[in-house]
Structure 1
Amino acid sequence: MPSPKTAQAPTPIKGSAVKSLIGATVGFFIGFGAVSLFGPTAHGFIEVMQLTPAQVGFLVAIPMLTGSLLRIPFGAWVDRNGGKLPFLILLLASVIGIAGLYWMLLTLYPDHLTQAHYPWLLFFGALGGCGIATFSVGIGQVSYWYPRNSQGRALAIYAGLGNTSPGLVAIILPLIIAAGGLWMGYLVSLAIVIAGIALYVVIGFNAPYFQLRHQDVPPDQAREEAARHGQELFPAVSMFKTLRDSAMSWRTWPLVILYFTTFGGFLALTAWLPNFWQTFYHATPMAAIALTAGFSLFSSIIRVPGGSWADRFGGELVAAVALLVLLAGALLMTFSGSFWITVAGEILVGAGMGVNNAAVFKLVPLYVPDAVGGTAGWVGGLGALGGFVVPPLLGSIAERMGTIGYARGYVVYVILALISLLFTVLLYTTRKGVAIHTSPVRVAPHRVK
């Protein structure tokens, strides 16, 4: 005899796909701002703490370490509860990290901030970076709301608008610091994150299946009811299973490489470019900020049409073209000694990175539809790790080669682009094996298993 809970009609589904997309985008936007925790302020720390180029590279990269690795378990956790809880946990951890930096700067900067405090900067920066990990959570949350044939556009909007955060931070944070001091910049950042959390709580609803499961509706009944609300993707049985299933799919790993190159590379450049422009071309701080913000915003915004192109022409083809554009830009930045040619190279790099990022996450729910959260975790987590790995490499090359090393270091991107092109060709030549997943046919409610 069924229990009272299974006999009762479920509570009406809250929210909608559009509201969930807005909520996830807002949450990711405020969390992703941690990418610029140190980039726009690195020169201030260099002057006060006498940091080496390698130490600067590690400092600007440290938020990406936690922001990358935590994407894996938290992205998989979406397949268990829908995303809202892990989203909030990550944002609260980021609040603690930014609050710690604010306290340090308020009490120590500038006279008492020394090399001895460098580990504490790294610690609070790592906590602040937890907000970056919201990306894989939002990918899963949005994917479960939207049908397959419109996921490319929805995910591109989510990631593209969310990715504008570092560019805006790179513009606004130095202005706040100039007006009120370094500590004021982090205080305002803290207030913005708290306000964003409140907004996400109000509109960031889980997909219908997860709402029904939270009401103790049995899995089969929840799937049928959710399908009637338009949900097409459903999670694996457990968090371990979604990680295992996605890891066992070989197509997950080429996507990791592609995302390491372009999203991890994007994170690295957003943090590194202010220092590059000021050191190599002796640009003014405001010019360096403008160039960095322009790169970040352009690469983020072009991701939106990039998702539509991936829907129309196919993710592999769009990714290959984007990587060729990235390769051309990286060659210009590596070997040019001209300011404006390097600017042109930066524009090409930004375009290639943004479009490829959209193409990659068009492919995630199509290749591994039964473990979207786990796949998003592996791709988003290990891919974003490039933001932690690349800046110390750039700093090390600059330290060994001197000033010219700031330009020659971009050969790292040339190599990564070539490797990613090879993996894209591999995906394209084996695409027939996943033809069943790329069809945008709607799943009928009674066929959902």
Structure 2
Amino acid sequence: MIKKVQVSEVEVIKKYKNVSNRALTAGTLAFFAGFAAVALFGTTVLKVGPILHLNLVEISWLVAIPIVTGSLLRIPFSLLVDKYGRWTLFTQLVIGFLGMVGIAYTLKQINTLPHTTAYYMLLLFGAIAGTSISTFSSGITYVSYFFPQRKQGTALGIFAGIGNSAPGIFTAILPFALASLGLVNAYIAWASFLALMIIIYALISLDPLYITCIKRCGKNKDEAQNLLKAAGFEIVPSGSLSESLKNASKDPRVWALVIMYLTSFGGFEALTEWLPTYWKSFMHVTSVEAGILTGVVYSLVTALIRIFGGWSSDKFGGEKVALISYIIMILGSIVFIMAYSIPISVSAEIIMAIGMGIANGAVYKLVPRYSPKAVSGASGLVGGLGSAGGLLIPPVMGYIASATNFPYAFTVFTILGIVSVALSVTLWKIGGNKNE
């Protein structure tokens, strides 16, 4: 039973709701800056590969390493938000900044270092820089605590949509930065940008009210939860990091969301890596054109339409929106399979972007809905394991393309889309009606 609290206390807590947009701004800025921090790494690999005489396997590890750490660290950092609040994201950004500085230093000294030493230094600092990508799941947890259920989809759609736009935006401006600054100075500029964003985040961010009640009001965990519930806050931490992860992992609906997110967001990461090769090797466009088609036409569209996905999920229900979005994605994959001209391929790319972007917003609308007492654990599992698709899907596509025909690689998304449609229907008819 909820403990009765003083009216004055409740009124004070209600006033805290007015800062929700400020928290959304802070969390979005952190994710955008963190994601942008590793935008240069793919180009770095292309530049240093010939210098260090790297083979294909070594190059693949360099490309993958920021994504590996950015994915694996999402679960622990998401859990830590319940205990350390806004300083969790701050720590992730600082670690990412140190990785950026380390990469810049290595590149500056690359001609004087032994090749093996330089390679392992780039691996190390690339892994450290990848920590900033993990701000996604911790940011989802952070933002969730400031909004009621009915606004979760829109708020998280804005957070992830703007944050995910970083690769597209920075991919578009990257050629100009490299031409005017050079690779080393471009890293210094990126690190300076990240440092500025860290300072701004530290100034405007604030702890979730649950943390404030414990740290500043002298409340224990139960009292803090009671105060929040009495004031109308629906998303409340469980009070235990292990309990949050345990509760989330026991819910089959969370695992359904993991698979669905692996399809849409893991697929988004995979296509961001894969499409430049597709455009250059199969459609024979220039490197600049491949960058624009991937970074702007695909990545930016996918990121920005995620905002609509979150909003529409608030209005019509995440399960229904997810179902429609995965059908759209399947349609896009089929068009890709049959595409042998640039206009048709561009159309397929846009259709895929729309389906994946809306699906990403719909899935994360459902995370706090299904796990209101274990948002940190559920967000970490869905974000961390779901993003593994960015590592698993490209090799599968490569195998299919080499064994059959290049366009047939997109059958991966047809299959994953069908699985996600089935899960969406299941959640809609069974799991979607079960609220806790």
Q: Which residue of 1 aligns with 2:426?
A: 426
Unaligned runs of 5+ in 2: 1-7
Aligned in 2, Cα 1:243/1:99: closer, same or farther, shift over 3 Å? same
Q: Which moved more, 1:49-58 or 1:239-248?
A: 49-58
Aligned in 2, Cα 1:39/1:25: closer, same or farther, shift over 3 Å? same
- 1:18-97 residue pairs with structure 2 within 5 A? 18-34=21-37, 36-49=39-52, 51=54, 55-82=58-85, 84-97=86-99
1:174–1:185 CA contact under 8 A, matched in 2? no
2:171–2:295 CA contact under 8 A, matched in 1? yes
Render the CA deviation track for 1:360-392: whole Å, top value 9, x for unaligned. Answer: 011011111110111001001101111222234
Aligned in 2, Cα 1:325/1:370: closer, same or farther, shift over 3 Å? same
**Separation in structure 2 between the aligned mates of residue 124 and residue 95 of structure 1, nearest angstrom:** 10
Aligned in 2, Cα 1:63/1:394: closer, same or farther, shift over 3 Å? farther
Q: Which moved more, 1:177-186 or 1:154-163?
A: 177-186
**Separation in structure 2 between the aligned mates of residue 116 and residue 107 of structure 1, nearest angstrom:** 11
Q: Which residue of 1 aligns with 2:188?
A: 187
Q: Which residue of 2 aligns with 1:213?
A: 214
Letter in 1 for 2:354: A
Greater relative CO, 1 or 2 (CA 8 Å, sep 6+): 1
SS at match of 1:255: helix
Q: Which residue of 2 aligns with 1:440?
A: none
Render the CA deviation track for 1:33-58: whole Å, top value 9, x for unaligned. Answer: 24534334544344444555555444
Q: Which residue of 2 aligns with 1:442?
A: none
**Separation in structure 2 between the aligned mates of residue 14 and residue 184 of structure 1, nearest angstrom:** 42
Letter in 1 for 2:382: V
Q: Which residue of 2 aligns with 1:334?
A: 337
Letter in 1 for 2:378: T
Q: Which residue of 2 aligns with 1:408?
A: 408
**Separation in structure 2 between the aligned mates of residue 277 and residue 55 of structure 1, nearest angstrom:** 23
SS at match of 2:239: coil
**Separation in structure 2 between the aligned mates of residue 230 and residue 185 of structure 1, nearest angstrom:** 47
SS at match of 2:252: coil
Letter in 2 for 1:430: I
**Separation in structure 1 between the aligned mates of residue 191 and residue 132 of structure 2, nearest angstrom:** 12
Q: Which residue of 2 aligns with 1:385?
A: 388
Q: Which moved more, 1:344-353 or 1:269-278?
A: 269-278
- Cα deviation for residue 129 of structure 1 reads 1.0
- 1:51-200 residue pairs with structure 2 within 5 A? 51=54, 55-82=58-85, 84-108=86-110, 114=115, 117-200=118-201
**Separation in structure 2 between the aligned mates of residue 393 and residue 52 of structure 1, nearest angstrom:** 20
**Separation in structure 2 between the aligned mates of residue 173 and residue 115 of structure 1, nearest angstrom:** 27
Render the CA deviation track for 1:57-94: whole Å, top value 9, x for unaligned. Answer: 44322211111111111112222333x12212211121
- Cα deviation for residue 169 of structure 1 reads 1.3
Q: How many aligned positions are there?
A: 425
Aligned in 2, Cα 1:207/1:143: closer, same or farther, shift over 3 Å? same
1:326–1:353 CA contact under 8 A, matched in 2? yes
Letter in 2 for 1:211: T
Moved over 6 A (4+): 8-12
**Separation in structure 2 between the aligned mates of residue 347 and residue 281 of structure 1, nearest angstrom:** 16
**Separation in structure 2 between the aligned mates of residue 99 and residue 388 of structure 1, nearest angstrom:** 25
Render the CA deviation track for 1:108-128: whole Å, top value 9, x for unaligned. Answer: 16x978577444333222211
Letter in 1 for 2:238: A
Aligned in 2, Cα 1:433/1:318: closer, same or farther, shift over 3 Å? closer
SS at match of 2:121: helix
Aligned in 2, Cα 1:14/1:315: closer, same or farther, shift over 3 Å? closer
1:58–1:391 CA contact under 8 A, matched in 2? no
The two structures have a TM-score, normalised by structure 2, of: 0.90
Aligned in 2, Cα 1:62/1:412: closer, same or farther, shift over 3 Å? farther
**Separation in structure 2 between the aligned mates of residue 61 and residue 408 of structure 1, nearest angstrom:** 23
- Cα deviation for residue 224 of structure 1 reads 4.0
